[in-house]
């Protein structure tokens, strides 16, 4: 996977691959190594925390491992490993326009629309997502490079 353009917005599915071993994790990690143009929102952190909690409940992760991963994500966000994308009123309005405007063939969940609106608000040229619906919506928008 090659990612030449910048900045790069990571949705929750992209962020997850950096912290929890999943298919494509090594490829994504190698492609993003050393970059300083990665954008992450608190929405992605909260959604990833939900995933950690679910995997803990299902027995895929121990409580200690889930806590370590969670604290590592917070530390990386606080130390500047990522640029912070903030949910603002204008981001919410853009997400709402996306949900209403993309039509029946591209059903967007609220969180996905918010991720797309955040990426747009922060002028991301690349969107890292492994979510089929979000990828389909991003393709319709034609605004982002979609590696992978």
Reported as a single tens digit per residue, the pLDDT across 115-141 is: 999 999 999 999 999 999 899 999 998
pLDDT at position 148 over 70: no
Complete edge-to-edge strand list for the sheet that includes strand 8-10: 83-85, 38-41, 8-10, 126-128
The pTM (predicted TM-score) of the whole model is 0.92
- Tell me the pLDDT band of 5, cut-offs 50, 70 and 90: confident
- Express each pLDDT in 87-106 by its tens digit: 999 999 999 999 998 877 78
- CA torsion 66→40→142→130, rounded to 10°? -10
State CA 123 to chain mean position distance. Answer: 15
Q: What is the pLDDT of residue 3?
A: 82
H/E segment holding residue 61: none
The CB-side HSE value for 55 (13 A sphere, CA atoms) comes to: 19
pLDDT in tens, 44-76: 999 999 999 999 999 999 999 999 999 999 999
What φ, ψ does residue 78 adopt, rounded to 5°?
-75, -30
Task: Give the model's confidence band at 145: pLDDT under 50 very low, under 70 low, under 90 confident, else very high.
Answer: confident
Note the helical H segments in 7-131: 12-19, 25-32, 42-57, 63-78, 89-101, 110-121
Q: How far apart are CA 69 and CA 147, in angstroms?
A: 25
Q: What are phi and psi of 6, to 5 degrees?
A: -150, 160
Number of Cβ within a 10 Å radius of residue 117: 23
The DSSP bridge pattern shows strands 8-10 and 83-85 to be: unpaired
Instruction: Using the predicted structure, report yes or no on whether residue 19 has a pLDDT greater than 90.
Output: yes
């Amino acid at each position: 996977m090659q990612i030449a353009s910048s900045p790069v917005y990571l949705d929750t599915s992209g962020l997850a691959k950096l912290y929890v071993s999943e298919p494509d994790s090594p490829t994504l990690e190698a492609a993003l190594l050393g970059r300083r143009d990665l954008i992450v929102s608190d929405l992605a952190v909260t959604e990833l925390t939900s995933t950690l909690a679910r995997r803990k409940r299902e027995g895929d992760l121990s409580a200690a491992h889930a806590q370590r991963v969670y604290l590592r994500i917070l530390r990386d966000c606080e130390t500047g490993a990522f640029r912070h994308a903030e949910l603002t009123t204008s981001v919410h309005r853009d997400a709402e326009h996306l949900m209403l405007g993309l039509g029946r063939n591209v059903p967007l969940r609220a969180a996905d629309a918010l991720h797309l609106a955040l990426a747009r608000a922060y002028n991301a040229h690349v969107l890292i997502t492994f979510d089929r619906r979000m990828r389909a919506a991003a393709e319709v928008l034609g605004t982002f490079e979609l590696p992978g």
